[in-house]
Structures are given as C-alpha cells and as structure tokens.
C-alpha cells in the first residue's frame, strides 16, 4: 500500500536540515532529497569530514561553519530518510517528486513539499568571464571546504558582497597569494547604507564579524581598491588578469585566478518550474517566490524555506525551515494552532534578529548597473549558447518582447544550464532596452526536467508509485 | 591553477585524456582535473572557445566532461572513483557524444 511521506524536503542545507529536525521531533515522516553526497548544502559543505579529518582547518573556515556539523549529525541520527546524491528533476503541486540517483529515476509521494534549494551566486557577466581561470568566489570556497584546495598562482578578487571579503580573508589565512581585491563598493554606498545602521546594530555579531574581516585583510597588506567600474578580464586561452577603472585612472592587475562575486540570489529553478508566484527585489535585483511568514507559497502543498525565498543567510534559513514544518504539522492536524504559535513565537523573534542586518547589507552591496545590464555589446550573457548583450538588444529592437520569445530568436537560455546563468541579465537587458520594468518583462518559463537525465535513467524507473514511500525506503 | 593544502588523504588513481592522475578520496572530478592542469576542461560546440568550471556547485554547466564513456556529465557533481576515465569534450564532438 502506498503511504506517502508527510513532507518531502528538497535540499540538505541549513533550511532543509532544520526542517528535517523539526519534522522528526513532531513525529512527522519526512524524506530529504539532496544532490550532494553529504548533508550541509554549500554553506556547510563537507563539514562532517572536515571536522573528522582536518579539524585544524576550522580556524580558517570559521566557527560558524563548524556549527553545521551538529545539524548534519543530528539529521543523520534521526529517523529522517536522507536520499543523498539524488538529483530532483521534477516537482508536482500534489507533492510528487521525481528524482534520480544517477542510474535510476524514482518517484516519491509526499503530502507536502518544502523547497530548501537555497541560493546561488549572481552570475557576473563582464568581458572575459568565460575564460578558464575565472571562477566565482564561492566556487573557490567550495574547493577549500570539499578538497582543501586553494589557487596556486596569484589571485585577484573582484565585485562586492560579504562573501567576497570572507573568501579573501580565508584565502589569505590559507596562504594563497592575493594580488588585490577590487570592489565595486564605494563611499557613496556607505552613505546610502548609513540610515540602515541603527536597525543593523541589533544584530551586532554580523557587524563585528564584518569589521574583523576587513581589519585582518588590511593587516595582511593585500591592496583593496574600492569603487571600481568597467571591469574586464584579460587573456586569450586563459585569464591573465583584470583591468578596471578606479579613482579616475585605469588599473591592470595580473593574476592566474580571477574570482568574481556580486552577491547571492535565490535559485528559483524549482519554484519557477512549479509556476509559483514570484516577486522582484528592487534593491538586490532578484526574483523570489512569494511566501508568508511560514514559507507557504501560492501553491497549498508547497513551502519554501531558506535563501530560496529571499536572501537572509544561514541562521535565518534554519529558523525558516522549522517554521515551515510547524505550519505543515498544524495543517496535517498533528499540532493545533495554539501549539504552533507557542512553538513559533521564539522562532519569529530569532528570525527577526537575523533579518535585521539585511537592509544594511542590501544597501551597502547593490549589484552595479554595469553587471545588471552590461554596456559592452560583446559581453557574453548566455554562456551556453554564446549569446551577447548586443545580440539581446538587437533581438529586442526586432520585436522580442520577453525572455521566452528570445529563446526563439537566439536560443538564449536553451543550453544545458537552462537559463540559470543568463536569466537575470536577460530580464534586465530587455527591461532597459524596451523601457519596461523587470516585473513587466518577466522571467524564463522553466520546464522539467530541471537537469538533464539520461534515457537509461528513465527506462529503469520504478513505475509503481508505491515503490518509494515512507514505508518501503 | 590549484594546489592541495593537505596531501595525506587516500590516493585515487584516475586518468584524464588517457594520462594518469592522482586524485584524492572525496574530491569531485572537476577539482581533481583543475588541480592537475590549468587548461580548459572543454571547448564550446558553438565557437570552440575554452571553458573551465565556474561555479563548482552544479548551476553553470561549464564543467561538462566525459566520465567513463558518458558525455556531458557535470564534473563538479561527480566524486572521483578508482580507475575513472575522464575526457575533455572538445568542440562539436560534444554534440555527437564522445568518440
Ligand atoms: S562548475 Fe558549474 S556546474 Fe559544475
């Protein structure tokens, strides 16, 4: 007999792991489906092995990172099913989740779905960003966490955001050779952020950490160049450095590794595939699925927890994972509304605390106009199909009214990444070219499969919907 | 382009374009290839421009490589295993699958 899970949780980062904990403690049946081989998401990537095998690296990766270990261990020792190494390729509104372990596709039935699919770094289209030797700052941090690897030759970091400085700091402590940090943040951003400071003071630990980081970087002697613009990456077969303008003159910095970062944005691939209602964040220029305080979406059985619903960071993500499960438990009749509210109350105040730092960070690190809508026509926007900013502007002038029509003109968004890399820029470029708002322009429609899967994986699928359920896993 | 800060974990023998490479247990294929060479890991089907892993977390699809005879796998999402055969995907070969 088919017994569906109460909750299918997609993603094993802070939101997903916390949701699993809460489900377990309320006696709900849950399955966590995650693409990685170990729990942690990107923020706590590989944390269990780092602590077991090279605990000295916590000094570099940070005590916040080490905190993820408790969540990961807790989830694994609970009764919650964890399908590691499983790629979700379709989610249905009724709670059906289709995934694959790489060999065989599976269908999972659940009463509700919690998307805990997190964030990704904003793609940073600048001339030369497709060259080997260019990566995101987050990519190198993943290499530090998952493989204890750092760049060998000189490194330059460019862009803005807390993660840019964090990775710079961690690389310095790891012994990497940093040529410079070139940040788009300028004095005017500090002025703009100033009114947000009083509220942010209540989340003092974030401010302290940021200041300590900057102090350590300064003390290391690595030059920080602020207020840069016109960033481009030099090189032919691979990157050889960057050129930019700052303080009225042109700078060129040689490096073998160029690390780009311009903040993080919700990964909306799954929420778009589910056709959830989305909103537009005016300061940070990203799409977010609309949710209520419990993470409920425009679809009754679908909840979103963590940065997938808007960027608030790992600590807030944990809290939101718990809140979603409390609401689901009350919907399923496991707890009544009074108990939900009693349990939710401290969580709301915790969330409020972590959210307090965001307006300051959002104002301090806005994505610059030249990243949102690159001026240089030759800049590649869609990396897969090699479509440039100029191509997109031309298609707009020929009558392409939105991202989905652009696919027919240029194949933009139709390569293997399915628009993950170009989607935001395509919306912004069309909006600017046509004199409309991003909301009027809209976003790519996302269709399953969310990631390509082979015919062999499909052919081997268990077609009996009762095969993978809470009773038989 | 990259180096390991620790070298004491278990060695996993793989090949990249037929050349023997010593990876370490737990590493992704993309990490193992990046530490062995700073060359492009693929060239694009459209213009044969050189590419290499960009995000390391499964969203950019720049790390597509042929792994054990299967083309277009995300090398950043696959862990190395003993005897694994990895090939760079060059140009339009990509479209036909590897030879
Ligand atoms: S490096 Fe981006 S998907 Fe693998």
Average pLDDT over residues A118-146: 97
In angstroms, the first-to-last Cα distance of chain B is: 28
How many angstroms separate the CA of residue A122 from the nearest CA in chain B? 10
DSSP code, position A5: E
- Taking the CA of residue A139 as reference, the ligand 1 atom at the shortest distance is 1
B97 found inside a domain: no
Contacts of A52 (CB under 8 A, 6+ apart): none
B72 found inside a domain: yes
Residue A462 predicted with pLDDT over 90 = no
B71 found inside a domain: yes
B82 found inside a domain: yes
B98 found inside a domain: no
Report the residue from A139, A174, A175 with minimal CB separation from B54: A139
- Confidence at residue B97, expressed as pLDDT on a 0 to 100 scale: 43
| pLDDT tens digits for range A102-114 | 889 999 999 999 9
- Confidence at residue B98, expressed as pLDDT on a 0 to 100 scale: 39
Q: How many structural domains does chain B have?
A: 1
Q: Which of A132, A135, A380, A456 is the best substitution to test chain B (most B C-beta atoms within 10 A)? A: A132
ipTM of this model? 0.94
| pLDDT tens digits for range B31-47 | 999 999 989 999 998 89
B1 found inside a domain: no
Average pLDDT over residues A196-216: 91
Q: Helix, strand or coil for residue A244?
A: strand
pLDDT band for A438, please (50, 70, 90 cuts): very high
Instruction: Tell me how far apart the alpha carbons of residues A396 and A429 are, in angstroms, rounded to a whole number.
Output: 9
Residue A238 predicted with pLDDT over 80 = yes
B24 found inside a domain: yes
Global pTM reads 0.95
Decide: A58 and A65 in contact? Cβ < 8 Å. Answer: yes
The CATH number of the domain where B74 resides is what? 3.10.20.440
R_g of chain B computed on alpha carbons: 13
DSSP code, position A226: -
- Is cis: bond before A241, omega within 30 of 0? no
Ligand 1 pocket, Cβ-based, cut-off 6 angstroms: B 30, 53-56, 58-63, 74, 76
What pairs with residue A253 in β-bridges?
A242
Average pLDDT over residues A449-469: 72
DSSP code, position B89: B
Q: How many H-runs (helices) and E-runs (strands) does chain B carry?
A: 2, 8
pLDDT band for A470, please (50, 70, 90 cuts): low
pLDDT band for A466, please (50, 70, 90 cuts): very low
Domain ranges, residue B19: 11-88
pLDDT band for B95, please (50, 70, 90 cuts): very low
Q: Which residues of A touch B91 (CB under 8 A)?
A: none
Residue A472 predicted with pLDDT over 50 = no
- Confidence at residue A469, expressed as pLDDT on a 0 to 100 scale: 53
**Alpha carbon A418 to chain centroid distance?**
16
B66 found inside a domain: yes
The string of DSSP letters for B24-59 reads: ETT-BHHHHHHHH--S-SEE-TTT--EE--SSSSSS
């Amino acid at each position: 007999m088919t017994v569906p899970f109460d909750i299918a949780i997609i993603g094993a980062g802070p939101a997903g792991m916390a949701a699993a904990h809460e489900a377990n403690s309320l006696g709900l049946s849950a399955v966590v489906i995650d693409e990685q081989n170990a729990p942690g998401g990107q923020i706590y990537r590989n944390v269990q092995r780092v602590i077991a095998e090279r605990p000295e690296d916590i000094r570099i990766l940070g005590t916040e990172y080490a905190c993820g270990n408790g969540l990961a261990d807790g989830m694994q020792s609970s009764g919650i099913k964890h399908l590691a190494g499983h790629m979700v390729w379709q989610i249905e509104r009724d709670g059906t989740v289709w995934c694959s372990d790489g060999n065989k596709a599976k269908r999972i039935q659940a009463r509700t779905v919690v998307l805990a699919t997190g964030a990704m770094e904003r793609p940073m289209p600048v001339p030369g960003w497709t060259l080997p030797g260019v990566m995101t700052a987050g990519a190198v941090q993943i290499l530090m966490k998952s493989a204890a690897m750092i760049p060998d030759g000189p490194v330059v970091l460019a862009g803005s955001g807390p993660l840019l400085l964090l990775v710079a700091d961690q690389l310095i402590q790891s012994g990497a050779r940093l040529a410079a940090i070139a940040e788009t943040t300028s004095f005017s951003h500090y002025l703009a952020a100033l009114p947000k400071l009083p509220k942010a003071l209540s989340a003092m630990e974030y401010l302290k950490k940021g200041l300590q980081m900057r102090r350590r970087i300064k003390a290391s002697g690595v030059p920080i160049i602020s207020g840069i613009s016109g960033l481009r990456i030099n090189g032919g077969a691979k990157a050889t450095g960057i050129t930019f303008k700052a303080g009225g003159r042109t700078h060129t910095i040689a490096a073998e590794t160029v690390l780009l970062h311009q903040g993080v944005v919700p990964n909306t691939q799954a929420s778009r595939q589910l056709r959830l209602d989305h909103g537009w964040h005016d300061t940070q220029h990203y799409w977010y699925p609309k949710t209520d305080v419990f993470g409920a979406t425009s679809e009754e059985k679908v909840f979103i927890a963590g940065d997938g619903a808007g960027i608030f960071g790992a600590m807030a993500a944990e809290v939101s994972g718990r809140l979603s499960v409390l609401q689901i438990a009350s919907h399923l009749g496991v707890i009544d509304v009074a108990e939900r509210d009693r349990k939710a109350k401290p969580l709301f105040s915790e969330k409020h605390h972590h959210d307090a730092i965001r307006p300051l960070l959002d104002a301090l690190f806005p994505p610059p106009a030249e990243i949102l809508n690159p001026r240089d026509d030759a800049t590649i926007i869609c990396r897969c199909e090699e479509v440039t900013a100029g191509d997109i502007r031309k298609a707009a002038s020929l009558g392409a009214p939105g991202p989905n029509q652009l696919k027919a003109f240029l194949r933009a968004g139709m390569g293997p990444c399915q628009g993950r890399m170009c989607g935001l820029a395509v919306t912004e470029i069309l909006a600017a070219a046509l004199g409309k708002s991003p909301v009027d322009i809209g976003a790519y429609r996302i269709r399953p499969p969310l990631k390509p899967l082979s015919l062999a994986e499909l052919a081997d699928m268990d077609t009996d919907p009762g095969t993978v359920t809470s009773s038989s896993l | 382009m990259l180096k390991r800060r620790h070298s004491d974990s278990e060695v996993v023998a793989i090949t990249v374009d037929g050349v023997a490479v010593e990876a370490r247990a737990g590493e992704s294929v993309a990490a193992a290839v990046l530490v062995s060479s700073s060359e492009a890991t693929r060239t694009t089907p459209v213009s044969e421009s050189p590419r290499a892993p960009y995000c390391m977390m499964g969203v950019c699809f720049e790390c597509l490589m042929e792994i054990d005879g299967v083309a277009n796998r995300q090398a950043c999402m696959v862990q190395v295993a003993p005897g694994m055969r990895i090939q760079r995907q060059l140009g339009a070969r990509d479209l036909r699958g590897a030879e």
